[in-house]
Copies of this chain bind each other. A is one copy, B any other.
Amino acid sequence: MLRKPRLFTPGPTPLLPAAQVAMASASMHHRTSDFRALYSETLADLKEFIGTHNDVLVLASSGTGAMEASISNLTSPGDKVLVLSAGKFGERWRDLATSFGCKVEMVSAPYGQTFTPADIRSKLDEGPGVVYMQATESSTGARHDVESVSRLMRAHAPAALLVVDAITGLGTTQFDIDGWGIDVIIGGSQKALMIPPGLAYCSVSERAWQRMESAHSPRYYFDLRKERKAASKGESAFTPATSLVAALAAALKYIRQIGNGNLAAGRNTLITGAELSAEMTRAAAQALGLQLFSPGCPASALTALVPPPGIDSGKIVSTFREQFGAVIANGQSEMKGKLFRIAHLGYYDYLDTIAIIGALEHVLASVTNGKVEFGMGLRAAQTTYAEHTAELCEAKAL
């Protein structure tokens, strides 16, 4: 049987065909009125997609570039910052802030868990200038409660800025960016936006712009003030990744289309889709006796699962690839071998979700020598889907 190469990884995610076509056919110079028109429109659409009144910028970099920008633009060497960390991407905030000479305070939770308000509160009392966190920690499949953190900050550290890495969070979970006071929120192209890696994007609040005036960490390529100035003229400060911008424009057009002309509605469709795919996958996991790696706070962007006792998750990852051509993710660093991750963010639908669960049952049968009853996970996922669909119909009928 054929084995189509397919991504079920939490980035890169499957590509939107319309974006592939736009990307392949894009051939333009970036200092032209045509590109300026496209870029301005794309930034405006992206702002609607993110859902904020703040400025929105695009960088030719991976998401980590925008993370670095929100360290280097908002801090000076020696500044006290607070990092909330419960996984590899939380640790990236720590490493970035350390690289730029910040004095890093940490609220840490074990991998697979999230933070307690009491721990955060005590650290907020120490007066950090900026708080850095993830919306969803892709390394563990955990969701962190950004709204609660923002509420704690308003009460206990109102001057501190809140920076949220929502690279896998945007398009998979709801944010009230302006209402909660998220000063910088960061996204990446290869996630819910359904295009390849290469672009980071972020929104920047007025408070964050003000902070930049006094912050003096070294920065050049990622100087957000330069980008803001260029963006106001429909340009980027440095050569933009034009084909990816064309892909982004097409993706945003598609998201508007699935939202019947409304980008926010389209984003909500993506979010509810990821939520349902995640819920189906969790139901299947439970029916198959698999433990969630982050049972207390599972994200909708991806599901991290613990392999059956005695099985290395690397074996599961390689069996998926060899038997079915499907690429799922292993655990990272010290989590390697201990969990495997299946993504739900971006261009996925019912058929993708049910198909990967079907394949999972064969993979489990293969690595456990047959200790799987076929159809059990699938039926649980189908029941979840059917219940959700029935609820939607009832809601519409009311």
Contacts and interface: CB of A to CB of B under 8 A. Distances in A.
A209 to B, nearest CB: 36
B349 A4 contact: yes
Contacts of A389: 323, 362
Contacts of A21: 24
Contact of A355 (B2, B354, B376, B385): B354
Contacts of A383: 374
B351 A356 contact: yes
Interface in A65-123: none
Interface string A378-389: 110011011001
A358 B362 contact: no
Contacts of A356: 351
Contacts of A354: 354-355, 358-359, 378
Interface in A161-198: none
Contacts of A294: none
A395 B180 CA distance: 62
A5 to B, nearest CB: 9
B347 A4 contact: yes
Contacts of A277: 1
A54 interface: no
B365 A374 contact: no
A253 to B, nearest CB: 15
A386 B374 contact: yes
Give the number of times this chain occurs in the complex, counting copies: 2
Contact of A1 (B350, B373, B378, B386): B350
A110 B336 CA distance: 60
Contact of A378 (B25, B375, B386): B375
B355 A382 contact: no
A12 interface: no
A269 B21 CA distance: 30
Residue with the greatest number of chain B CB neighbours at <10 A, chosen from A273, A326, A375, A383: A375
Contacts of A378: 354, 358, 374-375, 378-379, 382
A277 to B, nearest CB: 7
Interface string A234-275: 000000000000000000000000100000000001101100
Residue with the greatest number of chain B CB neighbours at <10 A, chosen from A24, A351, A362, A389: A351
Q: Which 8 A-B pairs have the closest CB atoms?
A: A375-B379, A351-B355, A354-B358, A375-B375, A374-B382, A355-B355, A1-B273, A2-B349
Interface of A: 1-4, 6, 21, 24-25, 258, 269-270, 272-273, 276-277, 323-326, 347-352, 354-356, 358-359, 361-362, 365, 373-376, 378-379, 382-383, 385-386, 389
Given A351-B356, A354-B358, 14 more contacts: A1-B277, A1-B349, A4-B351, A4-B352, A323-B389, A350-B355, A351-B355, A351-B358, A351-B359, A352-B355, A354-B378, A361-B382, A362-B386, A374-B379
